[in-house]
Each structure stands twice: as C-alpha cells, then as structure tokens.
Structure 1
Amino acid sequence: MARAIKRVLVTDRAEKIIDQLRERHGELMFHQSGGCCDGSSPMCFPKGELMLNETDIWLGNIYGCDFFISKDQFEYWKHTQLTVDVTTGRGSSFSLEIPLGLRFVIKSRLYTDEETEHLVPVHPASEEV
C-alpha cells in the first residue's frame, strides 16, 4: 500500500518559530484564508482563537498544529502541496509571528498523478480531528 501524501508540510525554519510561539501562547492553529496581500498568507493563532465554520476545512497537521483552509481557497490549491515557511519582514495580519519581524509564507508545488491517488483526505473543520 502506498504511503499517504500529506497536503501541508512545514520547513525546519518555520518549526523553530512555531516552538517560540508555542512557548509564549500555548497550543497553536493555522488558517489559510485567501484574498489579497497578507490575506493570502497563512496565519497562526492560539488554538481555538479563530472561529471556524462550514466554510473552512481541515487540511492537515503541521508540527502539532491543525491547519485549516477556506473552502474557496482549497478549490484553487487542491492540486498542490503546501509548505509553510517563514521569511523576514513584518506582515500586516494578526498572525502571532508578526511582532517577531517575521511572517509565515506558503510555498506550493503540484502533485504528481501518482501522489494525487494517495492524498490524505480533508474534512470540514466542524468534524473532530
């Protein structure tokens, strides 16, 4: 049986920032909404701080943090594997890393045909993970 292909990954550099944020804020969650400018950047919140609804889906778990995405954004990116990375520069969102002078960013790549057959399933955010 083929190995399940994760839909969202995280870089080592981003994991270090997640560790710092987790130490300050406790458990964390990520959300990828969409839109323009910083609205298209992944945002990190204390777990449960962002209210999720029927327009959000669970995409996966990165480094102990659930990662959600809006349904509309998922439709655009469902053929790509997302990787959360971090870069210097202040974004203008409410994401927890902003005061550090950093911001999370998404890098993406298209799945191969074979990988598409073995993707980890997504489900509505309202379902238990």
Structure 2
Amino acid sequence: MEKPRMNRITATKAAQELLAEIEAQHGPVLFHLSGGCCDGSAPMVYPAGEFRIGSHDVQLGRIGDAPFWTGGAQAAAWADNDLIVDAVPGRGAAFSLDNVLDRHFVLRPPTCTR
C-alpha cells in the first residue's frame, strides 16, 4: 500500500484563536480525526500525551505546534485534498477539549468553504 502524502492542513483565524485558548488552559495538544459519522467526522482535541496514537495513524500536518492525526484509511481517503480546520459556534464532541467552550472545530475541504 502506498503511503499517503502529508496533506497541507491550514486553519482559519477562528480555529487558530480557539486553539490558542485551549492551549493556554491545557498546554500542548494534538488533533485526531477518527472518521465515520457524528463526532468522528469532527477533529477532536486532546492534551498531548493523553491520547494514544495508533500504529496505523498518520500525521497529516500541524496547526501551529499541534500535530493533526487520523487513521491510515482516512488519510488515504483525504490523500489528494488539502484541508481547512475551522471553528464554529456550538458544543463540540464529548471528550474533545473544545466541548465546554461553546465553539468547536470542524474540517472543511477547500471546495466547501463559505
């Protein structure tokens, strides 16, 4: 199986501001996109060192100092796309650090930007 290329992950100003707020409160973090439906389709944010990266996970890029990971199958599906992380109003996924901030991260392919 061919290794997926490292995608270009970018973040909107809103996402960068939310990430800075989370890092100020929790220290270094990482993103993980599990794939699937519901919460699995949104990037989740965890304290660095408290989320176990799987042996098949692939780092797609970084947002600032925060690495952005996903599973190998998901990485292969996104292999030809550059991705944008945005922050929007509303509660995030249950275990993600953005959950209590009334804003949460979403992933947008460039073809789906506003």
Judge conservation of contact 2:11–2:86 (CA < 8 Å) in 1.
yes
One-letter amino acid of the structure 2 residue matched with residue 81 of structure 1: D
The alignment yields a C-alpha RMSD, in angstroms, of 1.6
Judge conservation of contact 1:30–1:67 (CA < 8 Å) in 2.
yes
CA distance in 2, matches of 1:92, 1:59: 21
Specify the structure having the higher radius of gyration (Cα): 1
Residues 70, 6 of structure 1: CA spacing in aligned structure 2 closer, same or farther, 3 A cutoff? closer
One-letter amino acid of the structure 2 residue matched with residue 54 of structure 1: S
Aligned length: 106
* Residue 58 of structure 1, CA deviation: 1.1
Aligned to 2:14: 13
Aligned to 1:100: 101
Kindly, what percent of the aligned residue pairs are identical? 37
After superposing on structure 2, the runs of 4+ consecutive aligned residues of structure 1 that deviate more than 3 Å are: none
CA distance in 2, matches of 1:90, 1:24: 17
CA distance in 1, matches of 2:25, 2:83: 26
Q: Deviations over 1:25-56 (max 9, x none)?
A: 00111011101011110011111111012120
CA distance in 2, matches of 1:92, 1:66: 19
* Residue 59 of structure 1, CA deviation: 1.1
TM-score when scaled to structure 2?
A: 0.86
Aligned to 2:41: 40
- Structure 1: runs of 5+ lacking an equivalent: 111-129
* Residue 16 of structure 1, CA deviation: 0.6
* Residue 93 of structure 1, CA deviation: 3.1
- 3-state DSSP of counterpart to 1:90: coil
CA distance in 2, matches of 1:41, 1:85: 10
* Residue 109 of structure 1, CA deviation: 3.1
1:71 aligns to 2:76 (yes or no): no
Judge conservation of contact 2:7–2:79 (CA < 8 Å) in 1.
no
TM-score when scaled to structure 1?
A: 0.76
Aligned to 1:126: none
CA distance in 1, matches of 2:53, 2:21: 24
